Every structure is written in structure tokens, then in C-alpha cells.
Chains A and B, each alone.
Chain A
Amino acid sequence: MRTTDNNGREFDNTADDPRQRAELVTGGLGFADVTEVVSNVAERPRPPLAWYVALAISVSLLGVLGAMILYLFSTGVGVWNLNNPVCWGFDITNFVFWVGIGHAGTLISAILFLFRQKWRTGINRMAEAMTIFAVICALLFPGIHVGRVWLAYWMGPLPNQMAMWPQFRSPLLWDVFAVGTYFTVSLMFWYVGMIPDLATLRDRARGKIQQVAYGLLALGWTGSSRNWHRFEIAYLLLAALSTPLVLSVHSVVSFDFAVSQLPGWHTTIFPPYFVAGAIFGGFAMVVTLAVPSRALFGLKNVITLRHLENMNKIILVTGSMVGYAYAMEFFIAWYSGNLYERFTFMSRALGPFAWAYWTMIGCNVVAPQLFWFKFFRTHIWAMLLPVMCVNVGMWFERFVIIVTSLSADFLPSSWGGYYPSWVELLTLAGSFGLFMTLFLLFIRFLPSIAMAEIKTVMPQAEGKGPRGFDYNPDEYESPGRVLATGGSH
């Protein structure tokens, strides 16, 4: 299988020529080649050494997470440095961070699907898996920070002897419903999309265990056109449902802060600003995961440079939206004339947490601007610089919002400080272990690329040559007479 062009470089399909659409699968691959390349990841007898190393590190971190949670449960929430007034610290910062990471997956699988962005097919499966795992990490934090975890089921609308119900006017309860729904729907979306590819693995499986496992998971899929018809409609509907859902989830997360009256929290732009930030951070994570995955498992022909470039452009766009929201917050804080609002924002920029604030600005607003340059968008090592900055910056964004506003609100006598305890630091590190462990297992055992979907965007699917729309300048000689070929009815 060729992964480089005649000059030994990676296939570069990032050229912008309006006369034709760039190819999304390079190396001249056909249907069977795509199946082979993707299935190979799950079928090869042993993955590359790097996978084992990564898994070893991830599982160790996962163990650390388990130990920290056990320590927290056995000793109490006092092992964290939360205090009055900073009653939310690393726990909720991590929660919002992880929920946000998940959003890019839904954006790629649902919103880009509705926008008919065909390049999504190369990365959507991986991004959806990332969504699921990120939401698992996110759900962990509100779960463990409630203090008496064994009573967490009180958040559900379960009747009890006292005839007391959850308090539905609280945004924290909306969170339970929003994140729960998001997890469920994302899981279904991911699984439904995976059914045809699981069938591929089933039909290729050699060992008995694989046959039974993939056979059960594939639900007896035969690729019937009557099934495909309903499958596509269901997929479209799920995309149409997931799109407002993904907006609502981070909006609800933002309500946790914005319904209060705390300066720096109570501001109306929070819902769309959080959504944009979530997608921004999530895309950075997708690029972070896609770059090593494609290199390790020989997927460079299906996750091409163009895929990465497009994602980097989205990082630039959403990063700019986030920058817009920062600017609006700052401007309106001044414009409001409200002393407390003005103080909070000045304190963010110049106060004790200024280091966190300027880390956030540098990573989220300044670093993505590098993506104005094609060099940074299309060179692996160059793109990892801003992408890593964004991963860090988006965590700090939540930290800045939560901690600065809580630590210094209306009354100077009730101000306080905050720094994390070693338990909080290790819990954060451990959550990455959980995330990476799940992701590494996924990429090894499940179809990590949506094979069936990629095949639909290959030119061969429309019975054409390798180019979808061929541009012939002669046809444009006389304005008003345009011939188009293509389409099916």
C-alpha cells in the first residue's frame, strides 16, 4: 500500500483548486483497499510497540485515578483544597473541560454531516468514540464531587418515602438530564454508525471469538438496500437531533454558572460561547489523537493532510469565536458600568490569577492565529504546537472562569484563594488515563474509521473516475450555456 507520492512525501491533497474537489482518499485506493487498510488495524495479530507503551502508561494513570477516588471516598471531600468561597475548583473545571472535548465528536458526526462536509467520513468514527470516552470522564467528576456519592441516585426523578423530588429549577439538575441524554444519544449514534463496519469485521473474522463478538454486535446486518434506506434516514434524523442537542448540552453546562448573579458568571453570551469553546477544544483533541493514530496504524490515505488542514481551519474559526466572546465579556463588563463586573474582569487580567488568564488568552486566542498560515495547517509537527496550546488553554479557560469569579466576589471580607491539592492534580492526570485507555482499546478492537461512509464519498461510488466533477474550460466559453454531468435523477 502506497502512502507516499513519487517524491517520497506524504500525498498532499490540500491544494485549493475551485475547479475540482480534492480527493479524500489518496494513494489510488479502491473499495477493497479501504476495507483492508481499516480492518487491518483490528485484525493484525499484534499492534505496534508504541500502542503497548501508550496503553501501559494509560492503564497506570487509570490506576492512579482509581486510587485517588478510593482515597476521596474513604476520607471525604476535604482531601481536595476546595474551600469557602472557592467551592468549585478542579472538579468542575475538569467536568466542563471533558464535556467540551466531547463536543467536537458530535460536531463532526452530526453538524458536518448536515452541512454535507464529505471529509468528515475520515475522522468521524474516531471523534465519536472520543465523545463517548470524554463524556465518561466528564460524568465522573460531578459524580464524585457530590460528597456522598452513594446518594447520587437522588439526582434522578425517583419517588421515595418522603415524596420529595429533585428540584427541577436547578441548573445542576438540568446538567444531569443534558449530559445523560448527550451520553445516551452519542452512544447510539456511534453504535448505529458502526453497525455496517462491525459487519465487515464479522465477515472477515477468522477466529471463533471474533466471529461471535463481531457477529453479535453487527446485529445480522446484510447491507440490504431496504435496510440502508431506513438506516440513512435514521442517521440523518439522529444528526438533526444531535445538532441542537450538542448546543443544548454545553449551554446547560454554562447555565450552571450564568444563572447565578456572580460577576464573571452571569452573562448572557455564555451559552453560545461555551458551545464554541467546547468545539474548539474538542477539535484540538481530535487532531491530537488523529495525528499519532494515522501514523501508527497506516491510515494516512484515509485521514489525509486535507482532513487535518480542515480541522485546523475549524480550530481557527472556533478559536476566533471564543476570542469574540472574551472581547464581548470584557467590553460589556466595562459598558455595564457595574463596579463588580468591572472589578472581576480587571482582577482576571491583573489579579492573583493573571498567570492563568494570560495562559488562557495566549493558548486560545493567540496560538490558533498561527493557522492563518498554510505551513502550520499542513505540517504535522507545526500543527501540533497550536493544537497542544489549545488543549491546555481550554482547560485554563474553565479554571479562570470558575476560580477567579468565586475567589473574589462582592464582599472583600469573604474573598479567598485556591490552589489544588496533590489529590486533585493526580485525579486530573488519572482522568486522562481513563480517556486514553478507552481510546486505545477502541482503536485496537473496533472499526476506527467509518469504512462504509468513506466508500460513499469515493468517486467510484458514483460510477465515475477518480475525480467527482471534471472541469472542462471549453464548456465555459459561452456564458449561459452550462452543461453539468452527475447526479442521478
Chain B
Amino acid sequence: MQHVIDISSDRLRLEEGRWQPLARRLQTAGLGAIVVALAIGAFGLESLLRAYVMNLCYYVSIALGALFFVLLQHLTRAGWSVVVRRLAELFTTAFPLLALLAAPAVLLILTGGLLGFPAAVHQVYPWTDAQYVAKEPLLQAKAPYLNAGFFAVRLAVYFAAWVGLSAWLLSRSLEQDRTGDPAITRGLGKWSAPAMYLFALTLTFFAFDVIMSLAPSWYSTIFGVYYFAGAMLSFCALLALTVHLLQRAGYMVRAVSVEHMHDVGKLVFAFVVFWSYIAFSQYMLIWYGNIPEETAWYAVRQTGGWIALSLLLLFGHFMLPFLMLISRAPKRRLQVLAGLACYVLVIHWLDIYYLVMPPYYFKLSDPGTAPFDLLGLLLAGLLAVGMGALLAGYVLRRMAMHPLIPERDPRLTESLAFTNI
């Protein structure tokens, strides 16, 4: 019954000549979309800034999911995932570009806004507005933490940590491609444990700083975990989608089998449930406690057009994917799984939209003070396409430079032979 999995005939490298032009076109198109968004955004600077921050958080979350995945596989000495681990490593190469994309927003906050931006910055991050802070004792109490200078320093630290971690993980893995040295695997396993600490703290405080502080009087201890759940979910979805696209183009057809994708599908399912668990915990406790400074955050999301988005998330982010993924069949049919992955990526985008886009100021008695912002939706959509294409092109370039699987990983044989029960 023993059999041989021979992947010598598999195509495991993207040819540079074939893929670099596509990557260039993607980057050009992405830049174009961003420029168009910036131009339209001149009509609504607050919407523009929110949409920009929102998409930044979205793409950072996917890259963070990839980073976590790689660390986790090393930490647990996972065997099954070796054939897809390189893809995750390549996703994390997006961090330098993400840092670059984050820079203008951070700069804007640091300088207190340029070119008529102050009002918009103050609307989006009220703690930057000295006059408003002077009126709010709660914000004064947080001023040692929520101030522009410290904010910029913290973001610089987060991105430096992520760029450094991802570069180290990829370079060690590529080093093993050359030498086949099992000690590299051992070293990665050993150091990924402390790296997890760094990851957990940077992710949490990134979520606190960039998203939670949009509503500076609101707080939730679970918020970092909430952001993490979405990050891992969207990464797993993107992984399934990428494998499908690569296999359609004729790559890694034998190396990655339906068994591996079944497992990726299980992870998507697991994180759909985990996200729901965390989202429910946060909502239920705040709903039940009913403390004004906490419920205000949900109240605005149940006002005006935002209630539709809340319900959409309840059904679309939990019930629908839960029912679609619960049985075995869709996880083992790659086309179906890829379709579901696209859906999950969109719904996670809406989740981040739900976190970032609703305004902070509103009166419960007057829902008109928190209107659903159509311009914001348009800008967010444009920026999603723009940043997505830019990042995809950037990552595709790096994908074309390296093998698609860690070719000499000592656990590759185990991974290739992997089967589910």
C-alpha cells in the first residue's frame, strides 16, 4: 500500500519573465486607483482618512495572519503544512510596503494635519484635538498614552517588529532551501516561541492604537483578540484562494493535495467560529452591562444605515459561512473552497469597515448625526482595489523570486504524504 509521491514533475517556481509584467501592471493599476481615490477624497477628507485607515488595517490583518501562521507552524513542529508554509512566508513580504502605506497616515497625525486636514484628523482621531481633550476628563486621563508623538513611535515599533520578523523567517527558510540543514528548522522552532510574545503584543496594541482609539472613550479588553481572529480567518481564506489560482495556472499541482486544502478549509471554518465566539463575547458583555461609555460604540452601529451592516455581519460573517463550511464536501472541492474564500475575504473587509467607518460623534436621540457614509463606502472600495492591487503586485514579484514550497524542509516528506482521517 505504500506509494511514492513524486513531485519532480511539479512546477514549483513562478517564471520571472512570465509574471513580472503582470506584477508591474497590477502595481500601476493599484497606484492609479489610489490616486483616483485621493482625488475624489478631496471632497470629503474625513471619509478619505477613514477609508484609508480602514484598508490599511485590512491588509495589515491579512499579513499578520500569515505571520502568525508561519510562527505557529514552526512552534508546533507542524508536518502537514510544510507545502503551504512558503506561501504564507511570501505573503509576509508585504510588510515593508504596508509600512510605507502607513507612513502618510502616521505623518498626518504627527503633524496635526496638512492642507485642511486638521479637521478631518480631529474627526477621525478625536484625541488629537487639543480643544476637545481639554473638555473631556476621560481623554485627559489617557493623554500620556494617546498623543501623537507616542502614537507614531509605537507604530514605528510595530512595523519594525513585523518587517524584521517576517524577513528573518523567510531568509532562514530560503537558507534551508540551499543547505537542507535540519538545524534551521530546529532554530526556527526554538525562536518562534519568544517571537509569539512579540507578535501578540504588537498586534494587540496595533488594534488598540489604530482602531480602538478611533472612539477614544470606548475600551474593550478583548479587542486585540477580535482583530486577531479576523486576521487569521482572512489569511486562511487568502491561502486557499492563492493555492487555487496557482494550481489553475499549473503550479504546485501535485505538491498541494486536496488533503492539505481540506485542512486549510477546516482552519477557515474554525476561525469563522472563533471570530463569532469573540465577537459574541464582546457584544453580549457590553450589551448586558449596559455601561454608557461602552454601549455608545455599539449604539452608533445600530443607528441609521449601520444597523444593516451589523445584521449583515451577524448573518454573513457567521451563519452563512458556518453552514457552508460545516460539511466535508465543500472543503474538499477546491473550486468551491476558493469561492468561499473570496466571500470570506469580502466579509472580513466589511468587518473592518464596521470597526473603522462609523463616526464617533453622534446623539442617540438623533440618528441623523450618524449617517451611513456613501462617499466613505466609495472611497473605501476604491482604496481596497488600489491597495490590494499594489500589494498583490508587490508580493507577486517576490513570489516569482523564490520556490513556492520549502524544497528541502526535513518534514516535507511527511507533509506530502499527509492524509486526513
Contact = CB atoms under 8 A, between A and B. Distances in A.
Interface string B401-421: 001000111111110111101
Contact of B141 (A258, A320, A337, A468): A337
A469 B413 contact: yes
A337 B224 contact: no
A332 B5 contact: no
Interface string A318-354: 0010001100110010011110000000000000000
Contact of B291 (A261, A269, A270): A261
Contacts of B140: 337
Given A270-B285, A335-B219, A480-B8, A487 B3 contact: yes
Contact of A324 (B80, B200, B414): B200
B416 A244 contact: no
A488 B420 CA distance: 11
Given A244-B273, A266-B285, A479-B408, A487 B221 contact: no
Interface string A239-279: 00000100100010001001111000011111110000000
Max count, chain B CB within 10 A of own CB: residue among A267, A271, A337, A471: A337
B189 interface: yes
A259 B285 contact: yes
Nearest to A20: B410
A244 B277 CA distance: 9
A182 B189 CA distance: 35
Interface in B256-281: 273, 277-278, 281
Most buried by A among B196, B200, B285: B285
Interface stretch (A11-19, A54-62, A401-409): A11-19
Contacts of B204: 324, 328
A84 to B, nearest CB: 22
A16 B189 contact: yes
Interface residues of B, number: 69
B277 A251 contact: yes
A188 to B, nearest CB: 20
Interface string B211-236: 00000010111111100000000000
B180 interface: yes
B142 interface: yes
Interface string A7-43: 0000000001111010000000000000000000000
Contacts of B277: 244, 247, 251, 271-272
A367 to B, nearest CB: 17
A236 B253 CA distance: 29
Contacts, number: 160
Interface in B182-227: 182, 185-186, 189, 193, 196-197, 200-201, 204, 208, 217, 219-225
Contacts of A481: 6-8
Which of A481, A482, A486 is most buried by chain B, counting CB atoms within 10 A of its CB? A482
B289 interface: yes
A337 B4 contact: no
A163 interface: no
Nearest to B208: A335
A486 B221 contact: no
B182 A19 contact: yes
A336 B5 contact: no
A484 B5 contact: yes
A71 interface: no
A476 interface: yes
B200 A268 contact: no
A483 B278 CA distance: 43
Nearest to B273: A244
B221 A482 contact: no
A269 B278 CA distance: 9
Nearest to B212: A335
A116 B79 CA distance: 10
A226 interface: no
Nearest to B141: A337
A268 B221 contact: yes
Contacts of B225: 269, 272
Given A268-B286, A272-B222, A272-B278, A487 B417 contact: yes
Interface string A297-327: 0000000000000000000000010001100
A44 interface: no
B403 A479 contact: yes
B43 interface: no
Interface in B161-183: 177, 180, 182
A272 B284 CA distance: 14
B408 A486 contact: no
A248 to B, nearest CB: 8
A46 interface: no
Nearest to B281: A271
Contacts of B299: none
Nearest to B79: A21
B407 A329 contact: no
A268 B182 contact: no
Interface in A342-401: 372
Contact of B289 (A16, A115, A260, A480): A260
Contacts of B288: 259
B270 to A, nearest CB: 8
A232 B421 contact: yes
B132 interface: no
A439 to B, nearest CB: 30
B285 A484 contact: no
B19 to A, nearest CB: 19
Contact of B1 (A247, A268, A270, A488): A488
A329 B221 CA distance: 6
Contact of A268 (B80, B180, B282, B416): B282
A282 B277 CA distance: 22
A45 interface: no
9 contacts: A18-B189, A18-B411, A255-B284, A259-B284, A328-B224, A335-B145, A372-B193, A484-B413, A488-B419
Given A18-B185, A479-B407, 20 more contacts: A18-B189, A19-B182, A19-B410, A232-B421, A268-B282, A268-B285, A271-B278, A271-B281, A272-B225, A332-B219, A332-B221, A337-B217, A463-B1, A469-B413, A481-B7, A485-B417, A487-B3, A487-B417, A488-B419, A489-B419
Question: Nearest 7 A-B pairs (CB), nearest first?
Answer: A337-B141, A269-B221, A481-B8, A18-B185, A268-B222, A479-B407, A484-B413
